[in-house]
Structures are given as C-alpha cells and as structure tokens.
Amino acid sequence: MTSMLTHALRNLPASSAWAARGFARSLSCSSQLQAAAVQPKSKKTLAKSGVKNIVVVEGVRIPFLQSGTTYADLMPHDLARAALHVPRDVVDYIVYGTVIQEVKTSNVAREAALGAGFSDKTPAHTVTMACISSNQAMTTGVGMIAAGQCDVVVAGGVELMSDVPIRHSRKMRKTMLTLNRAKTLGQKLSLLSKIRPDYFAPELPAVAEFSTSETMGHSADRLAAAFAVSRLEQDEYALRSHTLAKKAQDGGLLVDVVPFKVPGKETVTKDNGIRPSSMEQMGKLKPAFIKPHGTVTAANSSFLTDGASAMLLMSEEKALAMGYKPKAYLRDFVYVSQDPKDQLLLGPTYATPKVLEKAGLTMADIDVFEFHEAFAGQILANLKAMDSDWFAQNYMGRKSKVGAPPLEKFNNWGGSLSLGHPFGATGCRLVITAAHRLKKEGGQYGLVAACAAGGQGHAMIVELYPQ
C-alpha cells in the first residue's frame, strides 16, 4: 500500500469539572505518553521577542459518532457543553465554531456555556468558516490573548448532522410571514388561496457550494481526476486511515476523547466510525457523485458526523501561574483562499508553504503532519500538488514545489476519513492530536492543515512544550 501511495505522489499529470475529569485524566494519560516518548532532537524555539507565548493547556472532544446514531435526539449545544469540562471561574471568553447552525441556538457558544454552568458574565460568540470553523475559533482566541484582552480562552467547535434545518420553500415562507401580518379574515383567506402544491416542497440541505451549486463530493471527484488519483489509490489511502485509527484507538493513543453520558442512553466512550475493511469490499461500492465513472465513494470519503471539541488556551505566564503544564505552543498560522470551483479543496497546498515561510521552517523541520481528510482523493491530490514544480510555478507563483509530507509522519493516528468529521469541530482535533503525537513520537514541530468549503484553507505550526 505504501509503495503505491508513494508512487502516486511522484506522478503528477500535465493538468472545575475539567480539573476533576479532564485534567486528572490528562495527567494520567500524559504520564503514559511521556514514559513512551522518544526524546526529541533539540531545535530552536519559535518564540518571538515581544510576542506573548500562547499555549494549549488541554484539548478534549466527545466521541465522534456517525450521524443518526446515539446523538440523534440531542441538539448542538448539548454536544458543545459536553466538551466544556473547564475551570469555569478562570475563563475570560468562549468562542466556538460551527457550520450548519441550529436556528434556535445560532450563537451555540453562548448556549453551551450557559448550559454547562458558566457564569452569565462570561462572553461567548460563534464563528463559521466551513470545515475550518474551530481553527478560526482557536486563532480568534490566540489573537485575543496576544492582544492582552484575555488570559484564558476556551475555543472549540460542534456539529450535529443528525438534525440539520429543513426549510419550507421560499414561496411558502413568504406567504406564512405575510399571513402572520394579515389583520382581517378576508386578508388571511386571500393569502391562503394563493398557496399551491409546490409551495410544500421543502428545501433540503446539501453539502454544496453556493457560488457553484456543486457538491463537495463532486468537486473532490473532479480534483482526483485532474491529478490522476485513481480509485485504487483512494481506497488504499482510506484503508490506511481506518487501519491507523483502529490501531491508535486500541492502543489508547486517542487520549483527547472523553466519555459522554447521553441522557436516556448509554455512556459513549469511543468514536464509532472506525471500520477497517478490505480492498475487495471497498471495491464493490459504486461512485457516490459522478456516475458511473467517478472514483469517490462512501468508503473513501469522510462520513456525516456528530461531535464537539474544546481547547483551553492561555498565555504561558497565566498557565504556569495556575500550576498547569502546557502541552504545546500555538505558533504561526495562515489562512488562504482560492478559486471555489476548480481549487475548492486545495487549501493545504496553498497554506503549507506560506506558514513554513512565516515560521522560518522547511518541510524537513516538521516532525508531525496532521491534515484534514475530507476525501481520500482530496488529500492525495493535495500531496501531488505539493510535490509538483509545475503546479507551483503555474498556479502558486512559486519557483519550486514545497514537497509532499513523508507518509511515515502523516496522519499516523488516523484522520477525518476514519475518526469522523463534525465540520465545526475537526480543527481542534487536529491540533491536540499533533501535540500528543509530538510528545509520543519525539518531535518538536507539528504542522496542521485543512481545506474548507469556499475554496479556503488554514495551516498552523504547533510546537511541543519543553518536557
């Protein structure tokens, strides 16, 4: 499998509760990781004179579950507050990311905070930036701490795909709103008489680009075709993701996952989408988007997922004063944006060289890579693009390629294809996984990158806190 993937990359086509539960558990898990950790080679720190050091004290997530399963009867703020196991009295601000907002709780950060027992004096707001929404939440927190506005920020993300809003047609909505303003019986009857059968057809949500009306899966299929990523390569990569995730889960490496007692149901303790299959079984699935000749299938795509994550960010000074041992520094980060049609999912390709240059690093300096896996075809197309001088020169305005991450450093504990992808919550998972892998694998620098709808992307450098 590895040889096939390696070959593919080289061939581009011409085209308080926290203290009791989270931290206690974290300290135990951290000690286990530390005992097994390989001491990293000493490298320069990325600290900058006159710039505050922002640290990750802890990051957790409730188990990521396939939509329509155990979380199906909950609401987004229920999931979000389940991840908010933090020392409530020291938090200055809360910011959450989400993509498909529940109308009743549009500022889900605020509703989750109140539901979790935070003071009503603690401000909270919600951001959205498609699949990098919790990345935006984190960097918003970083900015607030760096600016001296806060010392302690909780950043997170949530998505509940089991219950997405389904609307009446616009004609019906307009009629109903007008009907609500009608004053006489005659006016109401007149409006009701105008309703036609097609008014009752609902507007169903779709994971599609507003500007192009194209589903993301369709875009992934075209991207895979453009970079000559075969169905076989995609299935092999998806199998790799599930196999590594299963190994990490069984080996107790996914220490960011905290149990969640679902009201009226069982306590959920682990992700339920990790399902290593076989190449033969995966090969039987039909194309999901471009039929009959597409290569993107349900087996090599991330699945609709419910879940939430949260991360406790502090200035280093504040964390040490409170007696905490941080896990990692959050260093340089960038956001990028490109054509939302032909380059919708190429965010990592554009963001990676920019964040490396900003940090003064090269690909060889990075010990751990954590990239968002929306589709196997998407991730492999990005790796091919990153390893292409032709693409760098013709599309990125660069003289040469940045190079593809080596697979032995890449998403070693699984990724979104296997662990799940609750749109607004994935970014926090990527960052805390990078921090844990750095400690376990003996590295110093991690690079997190993700694509997002709208043709946008994000990349961040994570530096292991001195052990």
Q: Is 451 considered catalytic here?
A: yes
Structure tokens at 204: 């169903």
Phi, psi values for residue 43, rounded to 5°:
-130, 165
Q: Where are the alpha helices (DSSP H) in 87-184?
A: 108-115, 133-146, 170-181
Q: Of the residues 29, 131, 150, 428, which is catalytic?
A: 131
The answer to whether residues 255 and 410 touch, using CB atoms and an 8 Å cutoff, is no
Radius of gyration of the chain (CA): 23
My answer on whether omega of the bond before 276 falls inside 30° of 0, hence cis, is no
Non-local CB neighbours of 338 within 8 Å, separated by 6+ positions = 346, 347, 350, 455, 456, 457
| Separation in Å, CA 252 to CA 121, 185, 409 | 38, 66, 19
- How far apart CA 367 and CA 382 sit, in angstroms, is 19
CA–CA separation, 173 and 168 (whole Å): 6
Do the Cβ atoms of 63 and 260 come closer than 8 Å? yes
Q: What's the rounded Cα separation, in Å, for the pair 106 and 49?
A: 39
Known catalytic residue at 131: yes
Q: How far, in Å, CA of 69 to CA of 54, rounded? A: 37
In order, the DSSP letters of 185-227 are HHHHHHHHHT--GGGG--B---SB-TTT--BHHHHHHHHHHHT
Please tell me which residue in 29, 150, 428, 451 is annotated as part of the active site.
451
Residues 6+ apart with CB under 8 A from 376: 229, 233, 234, 235, 237, 238, 241, 296, 300, 301, 417
Active site (catalytic) residues: 131, 451
